[in-house]
Amino acid sequence: MPFLFKRQQNGFSLLGVIIAIFIISIGLSGVLNLANYALQSSYQGETGTTASGLAQEGIEMVRYMRSMNVNWANWYGSVSNGDYRVQFNNNSFLPFSNVPLNVDSSTGLYQYGGSVSPDSIYYRKINIQKLSADEMKVTAEVKWQIKGVWHSLVVEDRLWAWQ
């Protein structure tokens, strides 16, 4: 009787290869989703930090305007309750209009109008509210839009008659 040799099969089966590709693709999909989420979070953090700086700048501009007027009663009397715009190169309140700040690409400074372009994603509103003869509430609201979703940041401070 002749000897029958069984041929050994070396290699992978087609089903094994398909299952391995499926498992690897699921793992890569998770890694890519995580990288995408990290990039989005980084951008949202960057825009939030910029908005925080713009809100703080708005509050500081009002404080600066206040410090330029030695007499609280005169300054307090010249300011009305309402919404305003402020910018670093102007020492007065500008009437509020819902227009975006522009960014100067050479300096990175934000301001309204002029020859500065292009429009940024940020809108800033300063609200003044007189609470008493010796106290004023100043609120800076910065809003911006990312992929159709509006975000906002509000900073509030109080100014007092300190002289």
On whether the CB atoms of residues 109 and 53 are closer than 8 A, the answer is: no
Of residues 63 and 163, more confidence is placed in 63
Decide if pLDDT at 10 tops 80: no
Decide if pLDDT at 89 tops 60: yes
Give pLDDT, residue 2. Answer: 63
Decide if pLDDT at 117 tops 60: yes
**Residues 51-60: tens digit of each pLDDT:** 999 999 999 9
- d(CA 14, CA 98) in angstroms, rounded, equals 63
pLDDT category of residue 5 using cuts at 50, 70 and 90: low
Give pLDDT, residue 13. Answer: 83
145's tokens = 């839009």
Decide if pLDDT at 138 tops 90: yes
- Write down the pTM of the prediction: 0.76
On whether the CB atoms of residues 85 and 95 are closer than 8 A, the answer is: yes
CA distances from 82 to 17, 128, 136, 138, 156 (A): 69, 5, 12, 10, 14
Decide if pLDDT at 1 tops 60: no
The one-letter amino acid code at 92 reads S
Give pLDDT, residue 48. Answer: 92
